[in-house]
């Protein structure tokens, strides 16, 4: 079983996603597990303040490092990671300057037993957190999001698909390709606002060799489109013109 551990200020923002469809079934079947850890649970501040102004000035607030570290420490305590060289545990830190997350990385991470992810928010997470945790910086795309919750959800989804038993046999075939061909279903002729939209003739031909050839061509086109619009994320919402850790 692969256990995902996510440190986040807003667990409610992603809980629903993990409790639906494929990921819900995977958890019920004991293939994966998702645990959420909130830094707010470790603050002694009566007002539950978890962020502070950044040194050197700048917009936004930075998450208090000790609170993030305590949340991460609780997560790591459940992994049995007593030594930093435990290869069954990987800690990820979302950063715009991190390595691009892709299908190859997802497949590699699926072989781990534990994945700990630090989902930043506001102006980001104190850079010392990454250093202390020896976390690997990754990016899910060249754009800016409000926080690291969506990147974490992307990683959970993409990695889980590579865990044995999570997908059915038919869906497993889909994992052999990054880009899928266009798909069609009934009706054969779709009437919409006075126009006819037809299913390609080759898909109705019953000629399997020609159908496969058509699909290969479609995948090539889809692959080019996907390459030019990769899904990648950054958890520092205000750092549009600089690399923030």
> The pTM is what?
0.80
Digit-coded pLDDT (tens) for 203-235: 999 999 999 999 888 876 554 444 433 333 334
Question: In this structure, are strands 89-100 and 114-118 parallel, antiparallel, or unpaired?
Answer: parallel
What pLDDT is attached to residue 49? 82
Digit-coded pLDDT (tens) for 28-55: 999 999 999 999 999 987 777 888 898 8
Among residues 89, 75, 65, 2, the alpha carbon closest in space to that of 36 is found at: 75
Annotated binding residue at 120? yes
Task: Delineate the domains of the chain, giving CATH numbers in brackets.
Answer: 2-160 (3.40.1280.10), 179-228 (1.10.1270)
d(CA 190, CA 198): 6
Which position has the token pair 């489109």? 225
Digit-coded pLDDT (tens) for 71-112: 999 999 999 765 545 789 999 999 888 999 999 999 999 999
Which position has the token pair 């000035």? 57
What pLDDT is attached to residue 171? 57
Rounded to 5°, angle at Cα 221 from 99 and 199: 135
DSSP string for residues in 29-66: TTSEEEEEE-GGGG---TT---EEPPTT--SS-EE-HH
Where b means 16+ CB within 10 Å and e means fewer, 129-149 reads bbeebebebbbbbeeebebbb
Q: 198 in helix, strand or coil?
A: strand
Structure tokens at 14: 């992603």
């Amino acid at each position: 079983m692969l256990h995902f551990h996510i440190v986040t200020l807003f667990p409610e923002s992603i809980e629903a996603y993990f409790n639906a469809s494929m990921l819900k079934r995977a958890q019920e079947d004991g293939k994966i597990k998702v645990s959420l850890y909130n830094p707010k649970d470790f603050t002694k501040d009566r007002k539950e303040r978890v962020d502070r102004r950044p040194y050197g000035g700048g917009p936004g607030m930075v998450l208090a490092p000790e609170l993030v570290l305590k949340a991460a420490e609780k997560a790591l305590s459940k992994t049995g990671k007593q030594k930093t060289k435990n290869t069954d545990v990987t800690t990820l830190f979302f950063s715009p300057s991190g390595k691009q997350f892709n299908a190859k990385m997802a497949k590699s991470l699926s072989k781990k037993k534990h994945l700990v992810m630090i989902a930043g928010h506001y102006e980001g997470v104190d850079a010392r957190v990454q250093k202390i945790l020896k976390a690997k910086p990754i990016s899910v795309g060249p754009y800016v999001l409000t926080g690291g919750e969506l990147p974490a959800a992307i990683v959970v989804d993409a990695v889980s698909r590579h865990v044995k038993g999570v997908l059915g046999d038919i869906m497993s075939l889909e994992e052999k390709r990054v880009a899928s061909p266009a798909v069609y279903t009934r009706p054969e002729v779709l009437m919409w606002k006075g126009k006819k939209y037809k299913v390609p003739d080759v898909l109705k031909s019953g000629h399997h060799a020609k159908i496969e050839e058509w699909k290969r061509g479609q995948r090539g086109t889809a692959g080019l489109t996907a390459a030019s619009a990769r899904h990648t994320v950054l958890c520092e919402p205000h750092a549009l013109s600089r690399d923030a850790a």
